[in-house]
A and B are shown apart, each in its own frame.
Chain A
Amino acid sequence: MKTIIFTILFFVLFAGSMFAQDYATEKDLAKIEIVRQKFLRSTSNFEKAQLAMELSTVYRLIVDNENCKKYATIAINLSKNFRAIDKNSRLHLQYKEILAKAIENYGATLAFDDATKANDTLQVSLQLAKEIGDKKGIAMVNYSLGLANSFRSNTLVAIKYFDTALVLFTETKNKTYIGNTLFNLSLEKRYLGMYGDALEYSIKSLKIAEEIKDTLLITNSLLANGFNYMLAKNFPEALNEQKRALLFFQMTKNDNGLATAYNDMGTTELNAGNLDSALKYNKIALEIRKKLNNANEITISYNYISQILRKQGRFKEALAASKKAIPYALKFGDSRFTMDTYLETGDTYVELGDYKNAVINYNLAYDVALKNNSRNYQAAALVQIAKSYYKADNRNEALKNLKLADQIVQLNDFKNRRRIYKTMTEIYVKNNDFKNSFENQVKFQQMNDTMNVIEKAEKITSLTQKLIYENKHSLQKASQDKEIAIQQSQIAQQKFMRNLSIVGLVIGIILAVVFFIRFKEKRKLNIELEKTLTDLKVTQKQLIQSEKMASLGELTAGIAHEIQNPLNFVNNFSEVSADLLAEMQQEINKGNYAEAKELLKDILQNLEKINHHGNRADAIVKGMLQHSRSSTGKKELMDLNSLCDEYLRLSYHGLRAKDKTFNAMIKTDFDESIGKIMIIPQDFGRVILNLLTNAFYVVNEKKHLNLENYQPTVSIGTRNEDDKIIITVNDNGNGMSPEVKAKIFQPFFTTKPTGQGTGLGLSMSNDIISKGHNGTLTVDSKENEGTTFTITLKKENT
């Protein structure tokens, strides 16, 4: 059988925020009596006001609202004329303080009857406290305002006041109220459905409560923790906290607290689906509450018991329980408890198939709702009535009630509206009224969609909160574990130190061990440092290699072209030589020796040419290999001019191959007197190549500006001077600004677009010339005119 479970939300939420209020003990009452006697005997207006205010404060703390209000009113009347007293006198201020506090007490008690009035009254008190500049007073009024707004279910406003109070209490180091404010913030966050935040606050308040040994706050925090864990669906942790609270209450013999703890444990078990345990705990709570005769709490227990029994299919027992709840609910006077109880009873009658009695109970709930102007309870009751009639096959009555419900229901009460339209649709179908059935189906669908969205949002919120909760929990656990570990290590250390002092000899050994460990640690650090250094060196090498490969890529096309040219000659000169030999043979046969001699000259010349061009191709390939190979770092005797010429061709054709539109005039001015000098060929070649490709790049850039009469030109020259050799690479590009010029030798500096240059070329070139060849690489540049790089090598080094 499908169980209809009518959601009774109110008492569930209420139970969670209901805490073991430590009502006045006899000691408290005795103390109060002494103050009261003093008040009655006093003849001084000021003293009377002071004592009345104190009495109202004490009564407020023991939740004796009537006496609190009575003495607050006396204090207000006795101090309200303070403005007549000299503004600068101490008395003026003291009266003002009494008035502020008395108004606050009065306002706080009002919260129980009329939260709006309470709020207004408290605002007056806040204004006075601000005028006095009394931080403690302002903090207290904010706290009271938080509570008053909490009563009005004005959660967000309440949080705002509690937050302000928390800051002020922290500043004034009022630990008791820091704890209480944290606890209240925990409750408000829970009402918002933010269980993770709620848990964070209740954990904090528990910590403070334990610090200041405030039993009431400890147990309240434990119960709040328990409830928050339960809402976050961590049932074992919830029960754990609730059982801790239970122990406290057993020690302090606080029956009220015991009942609350059992109640909460029952709720946890109910949510965890352990119906038997849930029933057991709720029954214990009920027994204690009956002894204490707390009407509202007895109602709650009976309602829980009824709900559990109904879930277990024990309808008659459930009915008995909810029926017993009714007189208590009526006695307590909160309409929501009464309505919930009637609805609960009605639900059980439906389960029993007794629709007549179900309708009677739902109608009772409806009447209470009507009297209290609660539209959602009215709608809910009417839907249940309609459903009962529908089940009893009285479709007309059912429709009548549904239509009424449709008129009453609030637009944003999607849950009840969905119920209304769904039931209406079903009835119209049964009546063969398809037009109305369709209309309601559409409405139902709309409600359903809305509800789905809301439910999904709720689910997301709950999931998020669960995540927050889990994070906080693990953090808390981690810090606990850490503390335990520290404590243990401290204990171990202490033990260790004790033993150490007994056996003097051991000290020496220990010290040796310590030093050895230190040494090992240092060595480990050194090894790690060395490893880092090695890694860095490897990375650097890879970077240099990649820079080389990048320039090689630029060259490959040029190299291919450069090889084709000598190959063209090698092939053709060898072929033509074969022809010439054949011709020569013929001439010899004819006896034309003069002619044959001519041919022989040509053939010899051709062989020379074949050799020359073969060598050329060989040099290109070798150059390419040299360029890609890691440098030997050894100086060799090289023909500087031919090396420059080779790289000039390579870079020019390389660029040409990449960019067909590229072209430039090349000017060479080689001083033939230089001959061979000692250089590191791979490294030096790389420098020349780098300077040339840069030069070609800038003239090409300038050419793209389409300036009139611009002839891109790159020149390379060598000069043999007294004690030095100078190599210059010049371009007529756009030159560079002083800012750029200052940076060009820095590693990773590049003016090329991202991805086109590594920014390492010139810094590497500079290193090669200065470190590898003991020379200098300098730059001279004029903006818009061009740049000249000059390599100067001392002859003694070459």
Chain B
Amino acid sequence: MKILVVDDEMDVKTLFEQRFRKEIKNHDLEFQFAFSGEEAINFMKDHEHEAVLILSDINMPGMSGLVLLKHIKENYEKPPPIVMMITAYGDSENYNEAMKLGADDFLTKPVDFAILKEKLKNFMS
């Protein structure tokens, strides 16, 4: 299964690759990275028929994570991609907005990768 990580911070790529080193090695997970909302939408267009799980930051210049979430949930009905939001703003307003737009889960930075792995496992099965 492909996982698309969307974040404007370049170092996210390195971090995820190291954190999921074993999973990547064993081909349990496959990671793709997009550094803006716009880039993520282009990626989705190219992989329209694949099952994709999206992990997205909310605060990004240009298209924000919430706009991206809305776009995905509106345009991709079958199969509905799973979208998890990851943000530095853990406030209820952000959370409620994300849930209203159909986010499947919500995590705050700094990311606890043990919890993230657990959640990913649940979504995979």
Contact = CB atoms under 8 A, between A and B. Distances in A.
B89 interface: yes
B91 to A, nearest CB: 9
B61 interface: yes
A711 to B, nearest CB: 9
A657 B89 contact: yes
Given A561-B88, A663-B67, A665-B61, A602 B109 contact: no
B43 interface: no
A561 B109 CA distance: 9
Given A564-B88, A660-B97, A663-B64, A569 B59 contact: no
Given A565-B9, A565-B109, A660-B94, A602 B59 contact: no
Contacts of B109: 564-565, 567-568
A606 interface: yes
A564 B62 contact: no
A540 to B, nearest CB: 37
Contact of A572 (B66, B88, B113): B113
A666 B110 contact: no
B18 A663 contact: no
A576 B64 CA distance: 28
B125 interface: no
A785 B14 CA distance: 41
A664 B67 CA distance: 12
Nearest to B97: A660
B111 A609 contact: no
Given A561-B88, A666-B61, A568 B18 contact: no
Given A572-B15, A576-B19, A609-B14, 10 more contacts: A561-B88, A565-B9, A567-B110, A568-B111, A569-B15, A572-B111, A660-B94, A663-B63, A663-B67, A666-B61
Contacts of A580: 18
Contacts of A684: none
Nearest to B60: A663
A653 B110 CA distance: 17
B61 A660 contact: no
User: Which of the listed residues A564, A568, A609, A665 has the most CB atoms from chain B within 10 Å of its own CB?
Assistant: A568
Given A561-B88, A606-B18, A665 B62 contact: yes
B7 to A, nearest CB: 9
Interface in B79-104: 88-89, 93-94, 97
A63 B110 CA distance: 111
Contacts of A569: 9, 11, 15
A540 B28 CA distance: 65
Interface residues of B, number: 22
A576 B18 contact: yes
B59 A561 contact: yes
Nearest to B94: A660
Contacts of A565: 9, 88, 109
A568 B94 contact: no
B19 A653 contact: no
Nearest to A713: B62
A656 interface: yes
Interface in A652-669: 652-653, 656-657, 660, 663-666
Contacts of A560: 88
A452 interface: no
Contacts of B9: 565, 569
Interface of A: 560-561, 564-565, 567-573, 575-576, 580, 602, 605-606, 609, 613, 652-653, 656-657, 660, 663-666
Nearest to B19: A576
User: Which of the listed residues B9, B14, B64 has the most CB atoms from chain A within 10 Å of its own CB?
Assistant: B14
A174 B88 CA distance: 92
Given A561-B89, A565-B9, A576-B19, A571 B64 contact: no
B9 to A, nearest CB: 6
A605 B14 contact: yes
Contacts of A652: 61
A652 B61 CA distance: 8
A663 B110 contact: no
Contacts of A656: 59, 64
Interface string B10-33: 010011001100000000000000
Nearest to A602: B18
A740 B62 CA distance: 30
Contacts of B61: 652, 664-666
A663 B111 contact: no
User: Which of the listed residues A561, A576, A657 has the most CB atoms from chain B within 10 Å of its own CB?
Assistant: A576
- 6 shortest A-B CB distances, which residue pairs? A564-B88, A568-B110, A568-B109, A571-B110, A666-B61, A561-B88
A560 B61 CA distance: 17
B121 to A, nearest CB: 18
A652 B64 CA distance: 12
B18 A653 contact: no
Contacts of B64: 656, 663
A573 B15 contact: yes
A575 B117 CA distance: 15
A87 B59 CA distance: 104
B11 A609 contact: yes
Interface string B46-64: 0000000000000101111
Contacts of A573: 15, 18
Nearest to A575: B113
B76 to A, nearest CB: 22
A606 B63 CA distance: 29
A780 to B, nearest CB: 25
Contacts of A665: 61-62
Nearest to A612: B11
A387 B54 CA distance: 105
A23 to B, nearest CB: 98
A370 B93 CA distance: 91
